[in-house]
Structure 1
Amino acid sequence: MEREKIVWAALVAIILFLVWKTLKELITPIVFGIAATYIAYPFYVKLGNKVGKKWSLIIVSAIVSLLSILFLIGVALWITDTLKNLYTYLDAFFSWLGTLKVPGALSSLFDAMATSFPEKLRGMLLQYTLSLPKLALQLIVFLAVFYATLANADFLAREVYELLPSTNREISERMLTKVKDTVDAILKTWLFFSVTKGFFLSIGFYVFKLSNAAGSIAAGILCIILELLPFMGGWIMWLIGAMLLWNRSPGVAVLFAIYGFIMISPLPDYTIKPKLTKHRAKVSSVVALVGIFGGIMAFGAVGIILGPIAIGLLFALIEVWKEYETKQPSKAHQSQDA
């Protein structure tokens, strides 16, 4: 019997090792494909109620495929110039941060980011720019995962709940709920909202001729980073843009400032964001910040998702353990019952 257990354990270990070696280079597109499905699922359901699930799947998949193709074309055309502009923006931004009088903890965090984040970002981007075929392959995997998970979302959700252990099932369900809350807060509100602001800032920089396409994309990326930082926001970028435009034309500068106020910050923070977060659990900005940037440092691009989830799970374990301990009868009470 013991020999049989050892054989099965060895077989499982070999299978897991082979699976890991097979998927190791594709973890990032797989995770992002699942994350994109999670974001798109509510839209897929609403559209399915109007046109049917089949057509909804086709339409949503077509939209995501088109965006992926445009992303690949953009990388091929502008990535080198975008990197140059981004490094220039980041250097100026972190130099400005160093002049601010902030609490010691934040100052240490900004110093650490100034020394490590640009290099980490550079490595993440260059690993794709040096191999566009690799990026194309990962986009294909991303689209395949997105289509498969979206088409089978209901089935996969049922399977996940059926796999939960029967013993201490309540704890497992709490953990799963915590993962959902964290992913909701990070993907559907904070990160999605930040990316949307970065997109509108890029459009504004290009339309108002503040920069070329590559420089506008770099400005949008920096806007996203600013939105993820506490006490910062995309308003810094449109304010800088308006100040640069003021020397050319005060009227155009005012128009750009109005555009930034309405489309980037702070108006969306008081009108759209509360509606997105109304029925969702809130995740601390510090937890999200440490999770996102710590995840990027540890895992690369996929750490944007894995980092906050890992920290969210840690807090869930602590909460569940505290509740479990408070429900346990004391030793004196146990003796009295005995």
Structure 2
Amino acid sequence: MRGRIELVVWTVVSLIILYLSWRTVRPLVTPLFFGVLLAYIAYPLHMRLRRRFSAHESALILTAIMIGLGTILLVFFTLLSIKLVNRFYMNVKDVLAWLSSLQFSGTLQTFFGQVQSQIVPKLTDYVSSFTFSVPKYLLQLIVFLFAFYYALVYGEKLREFILSLVPENQAPFIVEILNRTDKTLDALVRAWLLLNVAKGFLMTIGYIIFGVGDVYTAIIAGFLTFLFSFVPLLEGWMLWVAGAIYLYMKGSLLGAIGIAVYGAVLVSPLPDYTVRPMLVAKDAELDETLVFIGMLGGTWAFGLKGLLLGPVILSIALVLLKEWKKRTSDRGAAG
């Protein structure tokens, strides 16, 4: 009786601690996830550096490189964002001024006047809210860098630690799950990077072919397509839509239709639902439908990180189903 009470007490205490631990970690799940993910991507380079440096020194070098690249991208996007926001504001202001100059009824004229008088305070409030969020973003950045660094340093020991937590007779099964996870994640990252590079290159070519700005503009569009393709919902379609609108406003209807068809078929969204699942399915030895459902459902359920988590989770579920079927068959044969 006393043993049962102790078991119940320890179970309740453990559940409470696990719940509080989850509440503590939950706000930082996203930077932790992407820190570990980028460490996974950089791990082959880390292993090469390990031939000349210690694990801590190699991880520190890669973290410094990550900080340098992040700083360059931050400055680039800050300057680009300021330019785009300023242009957007001027365009909105011009449109509202044009609407106010038209001869509408008194009610509509009053409505447009109110919108025009409120647009500046609304934009100011948005900028202020973003400014107050900067400390939060900095905290997430610090967590991301720590996760990246320590995932590189202790990556080898993590696998050993996981195996040490399971009974010895279950170790082969856990190893199979870890291998399947590694294989699926490797296929996802490889397909993600290769496809996004191809999409950026094709967008650059498309901007040049259809005359959307000069070569510099085309290169910037290709680079932004590569970056935006890592973010679900944004993807590369934003750039060909912007190009189509630009050509249409210049009076080139055929050019606008051309780049729209070109972008939809070769950049986004068609390749995201055809080429990407095919690449992942081939490398991970999975069914294309399973990969497609995992990507779509994972993104819906977990946001950006679900693009990778979804297929990995379904891949592990497949391993579990196979193991369950095997054990059920073994019990049937033994009986």
CA 1:43/1:145 → structure 2, altered by over 3 Å: closer, same or farther? same
Partner of 1:288: 291
- Aligned runs of 1:30-109 on 2, under 5 Å? 30-51=32-53, 53-78=55-80, 81=84
Partner of 2:125: none
- TM-score, normalising length: structure 1: 0.61
Partner of 2:325: 322
Code of the residue aligned with 1:43 in structure 2: it is L
Listed one character per residue, the Cα deviations across residues 257-299 of structure 1 (whole Å, up to 9, x for unaligned) are 9xxx9xxxx9xxxxxx99x999x54333333332222112111
CA offset at residue 142 of structure 1? 0.6
Listed one character per residue, the Cα deviations across residues 216-249 of structure 1 (whole Å, up to 9, x for unaligned) are 56533565689xx9xxx99x96xx89xx7xx8xx
Code of the residue aligned with 1:193 in structure 2: it is L
Code of the residue aligned with 1:68 in structure 2: it is G
CA 1:151/1:73 → structure 2, altered by over 3 Å: closer, same or farther? same
Instruction: Report the Cα distance in structure 1 between the residues aligned to 2:293 and 2:40, rounded to whole angstroms.
Output: 22
Unpaired segments of 5 or more residues in structure 1?
A: 86-126, 248-256, 267-272
Instruction: Report the Cα distance in structure 2 between the residues aligned to 1:207 and 1:165, rounded to whole angstroms.
Output: 63
CA 1:277/1:285 → structure 2, altered by over 3 Å: closer, same or farther? closer
- Aligned runs of 1:147-296 on 2, under 5 Å? 147-187=149-189, 189-198=190-199, 200=201, 208-210=215-217, 218-220=224-226, 281-296=284-299
Listed one character per residue, the Cα deviations across residues 37-83 of structure 1 (whole Å, up to 9, x for unaligned) are 1111111101222455454323211121222333444554445849x
Partner of 1:145: 147
Q: Of the two structures, which has the highest relative contact order with CA contacts closer than 8 Å and spacing of 6 or more?
A: 1
Residues matched between the structures, number? 262
- Asked if 2 retains the 8 angstrom alpha-carbon contact of 1:181 and 1:281, the reply is yes
Instruction: Report the Cα distance in structure 2 between the residues aligned to 1:52 and 1:201, rounded to whole angstroms.
Output: 41
Instruction: Report the Cα distance in structure 2 between the residues aligned to 1:42 and 1:158, rounded to whole angstroms.
Output: 19
- Asked if 1 retains the 8 angstrom alpha-carbon contact of 2:163 and 2:174, the reply is no
CA offset at residue 316 of structure 1? 1.4
Q: Choose the corresponding residue for 1:310, options 309, 313, 324.
A: 313
Partner of 1:10: 12
Code of the residue aligned with 1:208 in structure 2: it is V
Partner of 1:103: none
CA offset at residue 33 of structure 1? 1.0
- Asked if 2 retains the 8 angstrom alpha-carbon contact of 1:202 and 1:220, the reply is no
Range 25-34 or range 71-80, more displaced: 71-80
CA 1:14/1:327 → structure 2, altered by over 3 Å: closer, same or farther? closer
Partner of 1:27: 29
Instruction: Report the Cα distance in structure 2 between the residues aligned to 1:159 and 1:208, rounded to whole angstroms.
Output: 52
Range 282-291 or range 27-36, more displaced: 282-291
- Asked if 2 retains the 8 angstrom alpha-carbon contact of 1:185 and 1:283, the reply is no
Instruction: Report the Cα distance in structure 1 between the residues aligned to 2:228 and 2:183, rounded to whole angstroms.
Output: 27
- TM-score, normalising length: structure 2: 0.61
Unpaired segments of 5 or more residues in structure 2?
A: 89-128, 208-212, 253-261, 272-277
Instruction: Report the Cα distance in structure 1 between the residues aligned to 2:80 and 2:12, rounded to whole angstroms.
Output: 49
CA offset at residue 329 of structure 1? 4.7
Code of the residue aligned with 1:5 in structure 2: it is L
Range 304-313 or range 196-205, more displaced: 196-205
Partner of 1:134: 136
CA offset at residue 34 of structure 1? 1.1
SS at match of 2:168: coil
CA offset at residue 159 of structure 1? 0.9
Instruction: Report the Cα distance in structure 2 between the residues aligned to 1:326 and 1:142, rounded to whole angstroms.
Output: 45
CA offset at residue 171 of structure 1? 2.5
Instruction: Report the Cα distance in structure 1 between the residues aligned to 2:130 and 2:177, rounded to whole angstroms.
Output: 34
Instruction: Report the Cα distance in structure 2 between the residues aligned to 1:75 and 1:130, rounded to whole angstroms.
Output: 19
CA 1:15/1:303 → structure 2, altered by over 3 Å: closer, same or farther? same
CA offset at residue 200 of structure 1? 4.7
Code of the residue aligned with 1:285 in structure 2: it is E
Instruction: Report the Cα distance in structure 2 between the residues aligned to 1:51 and 1:142, rounded to whole angstroms.
Output: 23
CA RMSD in angstroms comes to 4.6
Code of the residue aligned with 1:171 in structure 2: it is F
CA 1:48/1:171 → structure 2, altered by over 3 Å: closer, same or farther? closer
Partner of 2:126: none
- Asked if 1 retains the 8 angstrom alpha-carbon contact of 2:294 and 2:314, the reply is yes
Instruction: Report the Cα distance in structure 1 between the residues aligned to 2:201 and 2:311, rounded to whole angstroms.
Output: 25
- Asked if 1 retains the 8 angstrom alpha-carbon contact of 2:163 and 2:171, the reply is no
